[in-house]
């Protein structure tokens, strides 16, 4: 089967609830995307709501509050939003690297691999009464004499030591308290299924990726799961090769992997000129990576990697946007051809509805 990248991107737009937008809930969107970067929760909420026909401000916060969505450390050590099911799969891959067993870690923190079970138990007990700030968690951990030297590392805001505890499913982020970050027990979330075996998690992670970001070249799968989660190239290669139902297809002259159950649908996809406005660091570009020239023009990669707000046309980054006051300034890339002003006006109007202020579009050539 031969496909074009325009077909693949049209199908991907549908799978990622961008064209058309979805009718579900915020956790449906987060689950569909696998993960949503959470450095800026305002941008994360916008990314999710732009994919829904109906939503309200605060829906994402409500999903976090009742555990339908969790915030934790995952890909590339950054914070992400995931459903509990997706978190269990991806954290199993992340913890497989066992980074805390590296000699440099053992030397710096004074923790041997055999010390971690006891540390996990101490943290579990500390969080049993509810979320704690960094300082409160540091105090609780340091109350155990063997772990007293860890107080400064936990309290000072460098969460390198806490990340393995997140990867191991012990803690996640709790609600902010007076502007201060808190940590909560992930295991106390009734929706948390626990970490699956790696042999189960790996194929599930590959399937999740291909269902929303396929068809994908092996390099793109490795970028997200291997480089992003530290699962390792060989593991990712073996999971991809051994996954039932994976088919290799030609997409624009490149060999790509897709799920057999999806390929008829991909082949039937009609290339689209749909225009969408997205916040910076949206999963549309983070999933395949900004190095994917089918999504991000190479000459524009630096701006996209830097977090510029995105304008998509047919799934390809074709401009950037900024909003100030009542104006949304769209910088349309010259190489993208004539600017579709009518479509841009429509999307700016929708953006204004979500931001709860009227916006008028100003289109400039970039």
Residue 158 has pLDDT above 90, yes or no: no
d(Cα 314, Cα 273) in Å, to the nearest integer?
4
State the average pLDDT over residues 97-124. Answer: 96
State the average pLDDT over residues 56-70. Answer: 97
Tens digit of each residue's pLDDT (9 = 90 or more) over 12-58: 999 999 999 999 999 999 999 999 999 999 999 999 999 999 999 99
Tens digit of each residue's pLDDT (9 = 90 or more) over 300-355: 999 999 999 999 999 999 999 999 999 999 999 999 999 999 999 999 999 999 99
Tens digit of each residue's pLDDT (9 = 90 or more) over 248-296: 999 999 999 999 999 999 999 999 999 999 999 999 999 999 999 999 9
Residues 6+ apart with CB under 8 A from 253: none
Do strands 182-185 and 309-313 pair parallel, antiparallel, or not at all (unpaired)?
Answer: unpaired
State the average pLDDT over residues 2-19. Answer: 97
pLDDT of residue 157: 86
* Cα–Cα distance list, 272 to 14, 316, 320 (Å): 10, 11, 19
Q: Among 355, 291, 342, 341, which Cα is nearest to 317's?
A: 291
* Cα–Cα distance list, 79 to 257, 337, 352 (Å): 28, 36, 27
Domain ranges of the chain: 275-365
Tens digit of each residue's pLDDT (9 = 90 or more) over 173-206: 999 999 999 999 999 999 999 999 999 999 999 9
d(Cα 97, Cα 198) in Å, to the nearest integer?
11
Q: Decide: residue 106, CB within 10 A, 0-12 exposed, 13-18 middle, 19+ buried.
A: middle
d(Cα 208, Cα 262) in Å, to the nearest integer?
12
**3-class DSSP assignment, residue 38:** coil
Q: Predicted confidence band at 93 (pLDDT cuts at 50, 70, 90)?
A: very high
* Percent above pLDDT 90 for the chain: 98
Tens digit of each residue's pLDDT (9 = 90 or more) over 192-201: 999 999 999 9
User: What pTM was estimated for this model as a whole?
Assistant: 0.96
Residues 6+ apart with CB under 8 A from 126: 132, 137, 140, 141
pLDDT of residue 35: 98
Mean confidence (pLDDT) of the chain: 97
d(Cα 172, Cα 186) in Å, to the nearest integer?
5
Q: Which uninterrupted H or E stretch holds 151?
A: helix 151-155
* Cα–Cα distance list, 327 to 213, 221, 243, 355, 365 (Å): 33, 38, 48, 12, 16
Residue 1 has pLDDT above 80, yes or no: no
């Amino acid at each position: 089967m031969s496909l074009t990248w325009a077909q693949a991107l049209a199908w991907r737009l549908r799978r990622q609830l961008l064209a058309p937008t979805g009718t579900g809930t915020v956790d449906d969107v987060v689950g569909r995307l696998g993960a949503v970067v959470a450095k800026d929760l305002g941008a994360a909420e916008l990314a999710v709501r732009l994919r829904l026909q109906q939503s309200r401000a605060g829906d994402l916060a409500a999903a976090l509050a009742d555990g339908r969505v969790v915030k934790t450390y995952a890909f590339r050590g950054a914070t992400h939003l995931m459903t509990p099911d997706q978190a269990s799969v991806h954290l199993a891959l992340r913890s497989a690297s066992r980074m805390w067993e590296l000699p440099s870690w053992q030397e710096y923190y004074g923790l041997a691999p055999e010390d971690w079970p006891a540390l996990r138990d101490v943290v579990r007990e500390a969080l049993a009464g509810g979320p704690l700030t960094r300082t409160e968690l540091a105090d609780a951990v340091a109350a155990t004499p063997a772990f007293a030297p860890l107080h400064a590392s936990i309290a000072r805001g460098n969460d390198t030591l806490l990340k393995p505890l997140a990867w191991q499913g012990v803690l996640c982020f709790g609600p902010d308290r007076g502007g201060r970050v808190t940590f909560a027990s992930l295991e106390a979330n009734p929706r948390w299924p626990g970490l699956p075996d790696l042999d189960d998690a790996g194929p599930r992670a590959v399937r999740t990726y291909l269902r929303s970001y396929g068809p994908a070249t092996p390099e793109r799968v490795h970028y997200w799961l291997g480089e992003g989660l530290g699962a390792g190239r060989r593991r990712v290669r073996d999971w991809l090769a051994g996954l039932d139902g994976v088919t290799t297809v030609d997409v624009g002259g490149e060999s790509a992997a897709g799920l057999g159950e999806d390929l008829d649908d991909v082949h039937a996809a009609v290339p689209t000129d749909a225009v969408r406005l997205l916040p910076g660091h949206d999963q549309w570009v983070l999933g395949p990576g900004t190095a994917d020239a089918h999504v991000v023009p190479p000459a524009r990669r630096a701006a996209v990697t830097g977090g510029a707000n995105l304008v998509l046309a047919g799934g390809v980054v074709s401009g950037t946007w900024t909003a100030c006051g009542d104006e949304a300034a769209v910088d349309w890339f010259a190489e993208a051809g004539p600017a579709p002003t009518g479509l841009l006006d429509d999307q700016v109007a929708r953006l204004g509805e979500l931001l709860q202020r009227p916006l008028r579009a100003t289109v400039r050539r970039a």
